[in-house]
Amino acid sequence: MTRYQRGARREHAAIRSLEAQGFECLRSAQSSGPLDIVALGAASIRLIQVKSRANGGISPSELLAAKEAMEHLPRLPGVSLEVWEYRKIGRAWVLTVHAA
């Protein structure tokens, strides 16, 4: 499985989770930009970058870089900028949501 395919799996997992919470989701396939998912809810919008690593999660510098890539996006009421980190622990993927 390629790195792109592994990343796409985590993005689809994130979308399933968001849709279960009532969000409509748009995925930016093959994105090299700061956003992977735009989630539209009744009262909020979530702009999300998804990161995943099998060995120990993303590094602090990678998390900082993902947050910095979102700095140019407008900070509007009801809009959250988030980095979703999936890390593998044993056989399970664990999600941590970081505010950007």
**Counted domains in the chain:** 1
CATH number for position 69: 3.40.1350.10
3-state secondary structure of 54: coil
* Owning domain of residue 78: 3-99
Q: What is the pLDDT of residue 68?
A: 94
Q: pTM to 2 decimals?
A: 0.90
What are phi and psi for residue 62, nearest 5 degrees?
-70, -40
pLDDT tens-digit map of 3-36: 778 888 999 999 999 999 999 999 987 667 889 9
9: tokens are: 């799996």
> HSE of 75 in the Cβ direction (CA atoms, 13 Å)?
4
**3-state SS, residue 63:** helix
To 10 degrees, the CA torsion angle through 74, 72, 46, 61?
A: -150
pLDDT in tens, 23-78: 999 998 766 788 999 999 999 999 999 998 888 788 999 999 999 999 999 889 99
